[in-house]
Structure 1
Amino acid sequence: MAADLTSQGAERPLLYLIDGSAYIYRAFYALPALTNSKGLQTNAIYGFTTMLTKILREHQPQGLAIVFDEKGPTHRHEEFKAYKAQRPPMPDGMQAQIPYIHKVVEAFRIPVVRLQGYEADDLIGSLARQAEQAGYDVAIVTSDKDMFQLLTPAVRIYDPVKERWFDEADCRERFGVEPGRVVEVMGLVGDATDNIPGVKGIGEKTAAKLIAEFGTIEGMLARLDEVKPPKTKTLLTEQAEMARLSRKLATIHVDAPIEFHAEDYRVKPLESDQLAPLLRELEFHSLLRTLQVTPAETEALGEGLSLLHDRPDLQRFADRIRQTGSLVLACVLSEQVPVRADVLGLALSGPDADPVYYVEGPGSGFDPLLKDLLSDQAVLKAAHDLKPVWLALKREGIDLASPLFDTMIAAYLLNPNRRSHSLETVALDTLGYQLRGVRMGGPAEPPVDLFTVQPPPGAHQAGEAATVVQRLVPVLREGLEAQGMLWLFEEVEMPLVPVLAEIERQGFLLDVSALEELNKELERELDRMMGQIASIAGGAFNINSPKQLAAVLFEKLGLKPVRKTKTGYSTDEDTLTQLASQHELPAQILNYRSLSKLKSTYVEALPNLVNPETGRLHTSLNQTVAATGRLSSADPNLQNIPVKGEYGLRIREAFVPPPGHLLLSADYSQIEPRILAHLSQDEKLIKVFERGEDIHMATAVEIFNLPPDRITKEMRRAAKTVVFGILYGISPYGLSQNLGTTQAEAKKYIDAYFERYAAVKAFLDRTIDQARERGYTTTILGRRRPIPEIASADPVQRGFGERMAVNSPIQGSAADLIKLAMIHVHRRLRDELPQTKMILQVHDELVFETPEDEVERAKQLVRSEMEATGEKLGLSVPLKVDLGVGNNWRAAHP
């Protein structure tokens, strides 16, 4: 940022004037309702701060000011009581963000201009004129069309969202007149946003034509006899005074009682010590990195990195680690995919403030000593994101043995709502420290001599990471203990890491040839569908072009549009679903899109993701993504493989075991309703499961008041929707949408359910009340989920929080339960049936690859261990596991 008002290579200095009030509104409505983990809505703050950052970094202004509206009436309100009267009050979600925006501006050290009785437009206009007269060029940062009246050869408008500059020529193109006559056009047209009435019946084209001919409103009113057509003359005659008033209201005053002094608007260095903690509180981590702000007094960690030069050095280090019982490590990998990565080196340290050492990858000859240390079950191994480290070391033949401490998972447990749990983010949030180094991993570096004096590539980054982890461990452990989650961390999440790593390492075999054949079949089917669509539409068109599709639907076929966007009438999925009841073409388009997505997302994409070394798909199962505690799958996402529809099931047929093996699928039956029965202690619901009844059938009997033999499949399906609607805190309106029935009917179903299971209703109400009081919910094992939205003043956000409060203890407990089951099953398979491998988890389902001669024993072991997990947790209802066996995933799914 320049320190004076002199442009490099420019004859005149440049001043930026930002329309602050307008950009707060623009950011609020342009971005989704982002919140930080404490529930503060942050979309307006984020959008505003991003805009400031963009201008400061990309434009490097020499002079800058932000102009805000001041509360209270202005002279326009005195002249016209209805001025801006129709504007709704500021939304609650925006109101709470305003103080933070002012804090951001203060931390950026940007001058603020506001004055009682004057709008921001008048202050901007006055400053612009004074700066221009003082010899400066001015950039008005706004999207307000009113500002076009201020354009001169020295004053331009900049819209950072659209990345556009506007000058006098743009004004003539936009309004049909020069800037000085924009207020004349606006006096005729008015402004609905500000409730400026204008002349009813005169549009912008007519107004521009009239002003081009007569020059001004007064000039036109003086020559009314010349105005044509007669209708326009009549409108002007009847509304002459309103035209004069509207022109006056639209005029930006450039004589506000403020003075421009260049020295007051110099751009100053931002306040790092003020801005860094503010951005951390708001959880704007990408902006922190972009701005590279960190408290000045924070020292760089990992600077004192030492190389371990020989075996005696490493032996002394190993002895020290065994004495302390704790090892911190950071692994430098050759690439981002751990199952294919080589270990380039390891940064190693003990607890507390022990020095950090670096050794080259296991190929250096140190591997026997490293292997002994890393596989020592008396030593706690700590790292950030341990699973990739575990996988990469396993590839080198080294076992990273428990006990483990993953600072990423610990930080996630303490703040599951945080969007990122990277080491950079956790270090900033927990220690107030910003990492200096780059991310580890990436392309392999050339081999280096272990005995060189200088540390090899990646060593300093790894040393910094190890030092940060070293400092994080005691802080995070203390937090877990304080929140009652240390047992969950040590007995569930940490033992699960090697289980998930083994699943990822094993992978899932894919029949690529089967998908290639299916791809050809889908191409033929899509071609057939295109022909059918063209026939229905009366001609061929580009199905993937929203513009062409809209023309066919709304112009050619005459269907009524549902929703308009900035680019035209919407043709999204919701719109087509609504239109499908009016015409068969939207339904056919939906079918085409669905099949096309299936083809591109799975049939074509999955073969390209097969690991050439193994011939298998290796997904990544993530413990730190879903706030409920559920595992998620990525790269590729195997939890989203379709389970319905013929073509979706055909995709599942391509997931196969190797020769001589079968797939075994084990699926918890109705796990969430069972957990609800336990948590609510509803005796009637508990008895349903004790008797081994189908909960959805039992619910159908209650809500339809019919005996079981008269319950149809459709009734049971509706009852299932009601059951899961209850679990997710659904409203009568939401249930009516899902069932395709009236709200009254949906409410009757919900009331019937709660009448039968009254203790469930009491539990749900109690859970919401407790979440409102505490700010979080807990699972059976003590997993916390903060729900700050439940205390929001915004009713939409508050309702969302109440639904989360209902579902999180149930879904989170189900997640905890299957994690425990995975740990127990994995241990028994390792000890008793080592050839049977767990290869995937999909929510309530576990998939195994087992030799044909072990199938029956594997079935018995898996079922007994999964069902016994409920007893170990002390559940009040028995668990039931459905098993299926087959030569592909479709056939094995129970």
Structure 2
Amino acid sequence: MTLTIIDTFGFLFRNFYALPPLKSKKGFPTGMITGFLNFVASLGRDFETDYIVFTLDSKEKDTFRKEIFKDYKANRPEAPEDLKTQLPVAIELINEMGFKMLEIPGYESDDIIASLAKLAASQGIKVKIVSHDKDMYQLIDDDKIVIFDPIKKVEINEAKCIEKFGVHPKDFINFQALVGDSSDNIPGVKGVGVKTAAKLINQYKTLENLYDHIDEIKGALQKKLLADKENAFLSRELVTLKTDLFDNINLEEFKYPEINPILKVADKLIDLDITSILERVKKDGLYVKTKMPDNQVKFDAVLIENEKELFEIIDKIEDKIVAFDTETDSLENPNIVGFSFAYEKNKAYYVPINHFYLGVTDQIPEKTALKAIQKILDKKVIGHNLKFDFKMLKKYGLEIPTPHADTMILAWILDPDSPVGLDSVAKRYLDHQNIKFKEVIGKRKNFSEVDIQEAAKYAAEDALISLKLYEILKEKLWEEVKWDIENIEMPFINLLIDIESQGIKLDIEYMQKLQTETTEKLENLTQEIYRYAGSEFNIKSTKQLAHILFEVLKLPVKRKTKTGYSTDEKVLTSLKGTHPIIEKLLEYRKLDKLLSTYIIPLQEYAKKDPNHKIYTNFLQTGTATGRLSSKNPNLQNIPTSTDINIRDAFVAEKEFVSLDYSQIELRLLAHFSKDEHLINAFLEDKDIHLETAVKIFGENRAKEYRPVAKSINFGLIYGMGPKKLSETINVSTKEAKEFIEKYFASFPTVKTFLENTKIEAREKGYVETLLKRRRFFDFAAANARTLANFEREAVNTIFQGSAADIIKKAMIEIKQRFPKAKMLLQIHDELIFEIDSRDEAYEYKKIMQNVFKLEVPLKVGISFGKRWGELK
């Protein structure tokens, strides 16, 4: 039995800073709430629990720690406005979903957690604490109490505590007494850091023993310890959690709700425009505690430890479809531990290679195993997320084929809005609950330490389930989605492996110089802001900044919320010209974001590689429209700013070339709508935005209104209405509406096409891209709000999806014609290569322009440079 205790405010705060600043259509911030709901959704799918309780800090500000030390938590900055706005809504959602919340006057959430955890553990219940507060480490007791990280989905036990801080959990309060905690204003001993404190506590265990033997400690360290002796004991008292707040607990109060908690708040989520989670509920079933379904797939997991037997079994595959999967020691720079395969109805095989633990039995030698893998790869091989397996095998020198099929890609093509992990897809299409990876790993460091027999069941299941999914998905694919996976999606896997393996070099010295310059600029801006404000304050504190702007400087208030004055970017931008401090603040925020989001993290990625190359990971299934996305790090999102030119930090060994489809989505609009004015403008290579301005506003005002025409041109593709257009071009909603009406009057066939697209999407339940890839929408179950969203997505999919089809096809053709082409990046409609000669770049351009014949020509811009920032 497991009890999960959530440190509510701590968890919500972490979600706020970890997730992007999402907003509803009404402008209400929803990022934190969305992250929290995703966690609730995972409770029954990725993270099982029998009981759950949310703990809250006392509403009373004067807790017993304040009585001990009046400056306790006195330095806490004011929470950002968007966070404070979301907190009461999140608390309300917890209540409405049926979860138990606990609050005790005068005590903090941490004390409630400690008391609950100790009592539950004493009754034989395993406790998982969801908190990022390091005070929780003092509670860790292996197999009884652990901390759970919901982002990384790992349990933090005694070993991880020792690995991170260098001390055992039972010694943690004495360790904290020396280190202190700046976030809570706990003083500790000044000048004593984590390593020194760990060394002292490992030797002396307690403060009392440490100070009894203070003469053994020499020099400056002794002076520091003696000077802050009182603070050390005070700090220990402050960090020690209460464990006696409960005499008993009624676990039934904490039982995980039987009715799906997400469904209970469906109306509220629709109002907040958080609908993707609701859509997943419909497709994935109820997110309640998982029960093994009656129709669980039954199969035999066969462990192969004999070389002769291995090759005999592989020979029996002949020309059958074979599902293949590898097990590795990590996700980042992985090494092979074993592999599994399946080609029969109810049998799958596991081949151990590099398991390491005391008493490990016979394994297949790595060299022999690789020969066996190559034989399997020469057959009709399928798998789930084969890019990971193939990319890893490539470094062992194996010849990587084009997959016969990848069930992750098939699942995504059929339903691009749902999760495509093997566990989710197996549950959705087979009603089968896979063995969970975390259950197999347990407390082990990685898969190489898993017992071979246990590993065989887990790994063989992955192969067999992939095989069974293939049979179902391929049938559905050809029935429902007429999409060419054989010539597009499957070779694209190999192409992405090649792109990711190239990497792109970062000029570390340039980036360090940029960091120094940006840091200096921020320091200068800080002083200028203080000068204009008339005092020093925390620039990043919404409350303090609002006080300066609206109470000290008396600037006009633009927006006020329940929690105070808004100081978001929109407000600051609207205040431009009212006071010189505004420009400085906007510049400060821009530079601070560049430093923390790009300049420092990119250097960390580059330093991992001896050649200072950065290797991104492209997701083929990352978007519903078909466009690629990039992560770890996201290289599609590097700013184009020229004053702080981060792109200039990326350097070519010889030369970069950028090949960028020009206005591809507007050309697709002309192609699909068959509008003669648009078609003629593109055929004559005219300025499409100026031509649009002429049609709407007349020859005399065309140049003045070109930016408006441009916003309308692109806005219609993305489903922009009058309100959004008015905000974009800074006019009234009435004027924006008139502009759109003029546009449609000038381009009637465009209006007809867009309206017909929405009607056909509702009638058929799907839309098709240029290459006939379909995206389905559940219009039948949609309310008015969801219906409008589906219509926008349907139109958007035709343009973005078709553009994605075209560039994918072009990438594949370039690679087929020029196998040695060094393709480095794809950024939506742009490809970046590293080239030996410009002649090859112009060949790539020809392929891109001729890859598909539209009613109007495809046009590709080309530019060259030694640094990415030089590309136009």
Taking structure 1 as the reference length, the TM-score comes to: 0.65
> 1:746 — aligned with what?
736
Deviation per CA, 1:10-48, whole angstroms, max 9, x where unpaired?
xxxxxxxxxxxxxxxxxxx99789999xxxxx9999799
Indicate if the aligned counterparts of 2:293 and 2:433 stay in contact, CA closer than 8 A.
Answer: no
| Distance in 2 (alpha carbons) for counterparts of 1:788 and 1:404 | 30
| Distance in 1 (alpha carbons) for counterparts of 2:640 and 2:456 | 46
Indicate if the aligned counterparts of 2:762 and 2:779 stay in contact, CA closer than 8 A.
Answer: no
| Distance in 2 (alpha carbons) for counterparts of 1:412 and 1:822 | 20
| Distance in 1 (alpha carbons) for counterparts of 2:306 and 2:50 | 50
Matched, 1:723 2:713: yes
> 1:177 — aligned with what?
none
Identity %: 33
Matched, 1:323 2:308: no
| Distance in 1 (alpha carbons) for counterparts of 2:817 and 2:500 | 19
> 1:697 — aligned with what?
690
- Report matched runs for 1:29-108 at 5 Å: 56-58=51-53
Deviation per CA, 1:760-805, whole angstroms, max 9, x where unpaired?
110000111122223332212222233447974344x443333222
Matched, 1:473 2:470: yes
Indicate if the aligned counterparts of 1:771 and 1:790 stay in contact, CA closer than 8 A.
Answer: no
Indicate if the aligned counterparts of 1:371 and 1:399 stay in contact, CA closer than 8 A.
Answer: no
> 1:889 — aligned with what?
868
2:405 is matched by which residue type in structure 1? Answer: F
How many residue pairs get aligned? The number is 649
| Distance in 1 (alpha carbons) for counterparts of 2:365 and 2:515 | 43
- Specify every segment of 5 or more residues in structure 1 that has no aligned partner in the other structure, as ranges: 3-28, 37-41, 61-93, 109-139, 144-154, 166-264, 449-453
SS at match of 2:498: helix
The correspondence for 1:779, drawn from 760, 769, 773, is 769
SS at match of 2:693: helix
> 2:407 — aligned with what?
407
Matched, 1:800 2:789: yes
Matched, 1:515 2:511: yes
Deviation per CA, 1:388-412, whole angstroms, max 9, x where unpaired?
1111000111123023321111111
CA 700–734 in structure 1, closer or farther in 2 if over 3 Å, else same: same
CA 141–513 in structure 1, closer or farther in 2 if over 3 Å, else same: closer
2:399 is matched by which residue type in structure 1? Answer: D
> 1:549 — aligned with what?
545
> 2:850 — aligned with what?
868
Task: Using the TM superposition, give the Cα deviation of residue 606 of structure 1 relative to its aligned residue in structure 2, in angstroms.
Answer: 0.3
The correspondence for 2:587, drawn from 586, 591, 594, is 591
- Report matched runs for 1:191-270 at 5 Å: none
1:344 is matched by which residue type in structure 2? Answer: V
The correspondence for 1:651, drawn from 646, 650, 661, is 646
| Distance in 2 (alpha carbons) for counterparts of 1:733 and 1:580 | 23
> 1:260 — aligned with what?
none
- Report matched runs for 1:542-581 at 5 Å: 542-565=538-561, 567-580=563-576
Deviation per CA, 1:71-113, whole angstroms, max 9, x where unpaired?
xxxxxxxxxxxxxxxxxxxxxxx9xxx9xx99x98xx9xxxxx
Indicate if the aligned counterparts of 2:301 and 2:347 stay in contact, CA closer than 8 A.
Answer: no
Task: Using the TM superposition, give the Cα deviation of residue 576 of structure 1 relative to its aligned residue in structure 2, in angstroms.
Answer: 2.2
SS at match of 2:301: coil
- Report matched runs for 1:616-765 at 5 Å: 616-647=613-644, 650-658=645-653, 661-706=654-699, 711-712=702-703, 715-765=705-755
> 2:68 — aligned with what?
none
SS at match of 1:341: coil
1:646 is matched by which residue type in structure 2? Answer: D
Indicate if the aligned counterparts of 2:43 and 2:288 stay in contact, CA closer than 8 A.
Answer: no
| Distance in 1 (alpha carbons) for counterparts of 2:54 and 2:578 | 52
Taking structure 2 as the reference length, the TM-score comes to: 0.67
Matched, 1:879 2:862: no
- Report matched runs for 1:5-16 at 5 Å: none
| Distance in 2 (alpha carbons) for counterparts of 1:316 and 1:494 | 29
**What is the aligned-residue RMSD (CA, Å)?**
4.3
SS at match of 1:358: strand
Specify the structure having the higher radius of gyration (Cα).
1
Indicate if the aligned counterparts of 1:328 and 1:382 stay in contact, CA closer than 8 A.
Answer: yes
Task: Using the TM superposition, give the Cα deviation of residue 277 of structure 1 relative to its aligned residue in structure 2, in angstroms.
Answer: 14
| Distance in 2 (alpha carbons) for counterparts of 1:685 and 1:394 | 47
Q: Which region of structure 1 is more displaced relative to structure 2, 662-671 or 570-579?
A: 570-579
Task: Using the TM superposition, give the Cα deviation of residue 323 of structure 1 relative to its aligned residue in structure 2, in angstroms.
Answer: 3.0
> 1:491 — aligned with what?
487
Task: Using the TM superposition, give the Cα deviation of residue 501 of structure 1 relative to its aligned residue in structure 2, in angstroms.
Answer: 1.0
Indicate if the aligned counterparts of 1:662 and 1:887 stay in contact, CA closer than 8 A.
Answer: yes
1:653 is matched by which residue type in structure 2? Answer: D
Task: Using the TM superposition, give the Cα deviation of residue 571 of structure 1 relative to its aligned residue in structure 2, in angstroms.
Answer: 2.0
The correspondence for 1:369, drawn from 365, 371, 377, is 371
- Report matched runs for 1:103-114 at 5 Å: none
Task: Using the TM superposition, give the Cα deviation of residue 564 of structure 1 relative to its aligned residue in structure 2, in angstroms.
Answer: 4.2
| Distance in 1 (alpha carbons) for counterparts of 2:491 and 2:463 | 22
> 2:429 — aligned with what?
430
The correspondence for 1:819, drawn from 805, 808, 811, is 808
The correspondence for 2:825, drawn from 826, 830, 840, is 840
> 1:524 — aligned with what?
520
Indicate if the aligned counterparts of 1:327 and 1:350 stay in contact, CA closer than 8 A.
Answer: yes
CA 161–575 in structure 1, closer or farther in 2 if over 3 Å, else same: farther
Deviation per CA, 1:585-636, whole angstroms, max 9, x where unpaired?
2332122101110111111110101242442111111011211111101010
Indicate if the aligned counterparts of 1:667 and 1:846 stay in contact, CA closer than 8 A.
Answer: yes
Deviation per CA, 1:143-189, whole angstroms, max 9, x where unpaired?
9xxxxxxxxxxx99999999899xxxxxxxxxxxxxxxxxxxxxxxx
Task: Using the TM superposition, give the Cα deviation of residue 583 of structure 1 relative to its aligned residue in structure 2, in angstroms.
Answer: 3.4
The correspondence for 2:343, drawn from 344, 347, 350, is 350
| Distance in 2 (alpha carbons) for counterparts of 1:734 and 1:864 | 38
Task: Using the TM superposition, give the Cα deviation of residue 850 of structure 1 relative to its aligned residue in structure 2, in angstroms.
Answer: 1.1
The correspondence for 1:534, drawn from 530, 544, 548, is 530
